[in-house]
Amino acid sequence: MNSPARDLGMAAMYGFDRQQLLTAVILLVTALFVSSGVASAAPWRRPLRLAATGAFVIAVVLALAEIVYWWAGLDH
């Protein structure tokens, strides 16, 4: 007898998918921007903002690649 968990694809549920990756990058960008505004981070303000901008650009490129991938029908 097959387990209901096997029929529902529970093994695939634990994978780290692209949506979670994009969410993590967006949270990283938010944390970098917020931390660059803290007064005690004055010496690190410019590097933190540059890192946040770079991470944001990466997130946008990944999101656009995901859209193109989906439009092309390669997500099956």
| Residue 8: per-residue pLDDT | 52
Work out the number of other CB atoms within 10 angstroms of the CB of residue 42.
Answer: 9
Domain extent at residue 61: 16-71
User: Does residue 2 sit within a domain?
Assistant: no
Give 10-62 as a DSSP string. Answer: HHHHTS--HHHHHHHHHHHHHHHHHHHTSGGGGGGHHHHHHHHHHHHHHHHHH
User: Does residue 57 sit within a domain?
Assistant: yes
The pTM of the full predicted model, rounded to 2 decimals, is 0.61
User: Does residue 4 sit within a domain?
Assistant: no
| Residue 72: per-residue pLDDT | 87
User: Does residue 9 sit within a domain?
Assistant: no
Q: What does the pLDDT look like over 40-54, one tens digit per residue?
A: 878 888 888 888 888
User: Does residue 10 sit within a domain?
Assistant: no
Name the stretches of the chain with pLDDT < 50: 1, 11, 13
The total domain count for the chain is 1
User: Does residue 50 sit within a domain?
Assistant: yes
| Residue 21: per-residue pLDDT | 78
Mean pLDDT over all residues of the chain? 76
* Dihedral sign (CA 4, 7, 11, 15): negative
